[in-house]
Structure 1
Amino acid sequence: MTAVATRLTLADARRSPCLTCSTTPCCTHLPVHTFRMTTLMDLDEARYLLNFDGIELGLSSSGEWSVYYGRPCRFLDTAAGLCTIHATERQPQICRTYNPYTCWYKRAFGGESDEFVWVDREALDRIGEQVAFDEHRTIVEVPSWEDLLASAAPPPVASAAAVSRAVPLTLGPTRLRSDAPAEPQPHSYDDLRHPCDDCGAYCCTRLVFPKPRPATNVELDFWRLCLGFPGVEVGIGGDAWSLIVETTCRHLDAGGRCSVYGSPERPLRCSYYDEWKCAYKPRFGGGDTGFLRMGLDEFDAFLADLTFDAAGRVL
């Protein structure tokens, strides 16, 4: 039975669609990354990401995969579904000027779009069974879009639950502290063989997405939007910027170790990760004084020290 389309008068159509949006997905799902799936390692990356709490994957009919972090913005009144900083200086410009009459979120998160599908772990496993590779592990065959629509996951719902289940997170005012490096201690070659032994499992409690260095006030405003979501930081090392999401892999056990170590369930990315070259431990455990992490308050102070030309370019 075909549903009858709703007919609106001009006056009805001019009323903001936000007034009938009960889930406020634009305030509960932060877009953090996009990628294309062309190789086995891209598919493995998708499996890896879906191991983390609050991470949702979607696929558009154009072939672009989107990664979302599903946690309500800290400024969202979840009971009323309203922004608590609406029309104030604290509200990011990207939110203030977002046009609800062309909103994509409501269609995609309401399951009303046939050009976008949600992919949870079960759906990804079904997709994986229909993917074929050549000898170089390049994808040469994928399911049809009609098959993907038929097997799509339901739209996600943001959770306000705590991000971490096993390891305490380390957001705090000491992020920007630049301590003098401690006097280096001598170690033997064998001492350095197992760097994970005294590590806080930082690679299992954070996702790091490299981003271009922002060059304009518009790009910096997007970072302010991102930092409005709990558990999100900006990382700066030299000219390299990254979006950091604090979240926990479902396979991390209470002892801070991988519960699927050595099994086929473990992502290839993790199995072949070179812990001797790990950047997580010095950056999040201390020791890398050339890497800065900022939350929203620090970022606002950072913005106050910047200057721009008339076109908004950072000077």
Structure 2
Amino acid sequence: MTTALPIKPRRSQVADVANLCEYCTAKCCRYFALPIDEPDCRKDFDYIRWYLLHDRASVFVDEGDWYLLVHTTCKHLQDDHRCGIYETRPQICRDYTTDGCEYEDDWVYEKYFETPEQIAEYCDARFGPEPGQGVRSRKPTGLPMV
């Protein structure tokens, strides 16, 4: 017999005086995002394509700003979703508040890229095909003869 997991309340259902983190699974401790320059040429998009060739990396745009998102869990996140170094945590963690956090699971971005193919396709849509390339995909390689 399996035990049902408790339902996480919506932000609006949590009292203003309550600690929102008490109801969360520490989503904010499972990634970090670094601002990157908005790409404005094919070379910039090629760098982003390189980022996306690495495991657990994605790129998103929020309010016009571009970010590299690295999906990795903090080494000090404990099984109970609490910080193992709370008293000595870095300043960036101390400054973080739940005011605009991603507590709700329905967070969306203006643009979100997970694969190098997605960013290449977006680049081609923005700039058109590269010189010498048609608008069609390359001819696929044939299957080997057996």
Q: TM-score, normalised by structure 1?
A: 0.34
Given residue 217 of structure 1, which amino acid in structure 2 is its aligned partner? Answer: R
1:1-315 matched pairs, under 5 angstroms: 187=12, 190-191=15-16, 193-261=18-86, 263=87, 265-278=88-101, 280-281=102-103, 285-288=105-108, 290-296=109-115, 297-307=117-127
| 2:142 counterpart residue number | none
Q: Which protein is bigger by CA-based radius of gyration?
A: 1
- CA deviations over 1:139-173 (Å, ceiling 9, x no partner): xxxxxxxxxxxxxxxxxxxxxxxxxxxxxxxxxxx
The offset of 1:202, in angstroms, is 2.0
Matched length: 120
The change in CA–CA distance for 1:195 and 1:189 in structure 2 (over 3 A counts) is closer
- CA deviations over 1:189-226 (Å, ceiling 9, x no partner): 72574322333312211111011110001111100011
Consecutive unaligned residues of structure 2, counting only runs of 5 or more, are: 1-9, 131-146
The change in CA–CA distance for 1:293 and 1:281 in structure 2 (over 3 A counts) is farther
Given residue 295 of structure 1, which amino acid in structure 2 is its aligned partner? Answer: E
The change in CA–CA distance for 1:255 and 1:293 in structure 2 (over 3 A counts) is farther
Give, in whole Å, the separation in 2 of the partners of 1:309 and 1:293: 21
| 2:144 counterpart residue number | none
Give, in whole Å, the separation in 1 of the partners of 2:11 and 2:124: 42
The offset of 1:281, in angstroms, is 3.7
The change in CA–CA distance for 1:247 and 1:287 in structure 2 (over 3 A counts) is closer
The offset of 1:309, in angstroms, is 10
The change in CA–CA distance for 1:219 and 1:186 in structure 2 (over 3 A counts) is closer
The offset of 1:186, in angstroms, is 9.0
The change in CA–CA distance for 1:209 and 1:186 in structure 2 (over 3 A counts) is closer
Given residue 107 of structure 2, which amino acid in structure 1 is its aligned partner? Answer: G
- Following TM superposition, where does structure 1 have runs of at least 4 consecutive aligned residues deviating by more than 3 angstroms? 185-189
Identity over aligned pairs, percent: 23
The offset of 1:238, in angstroms, is 3.5
The offset of 1:239, in angstroms, is 1.8
Give, in whole Å, the separation in 2 of the partners of 1:276 and 1:194: 11
Q: Say which structure, 1 or 2, has more relative contact order (CA 8 Å, 6+ apart).
A: 2
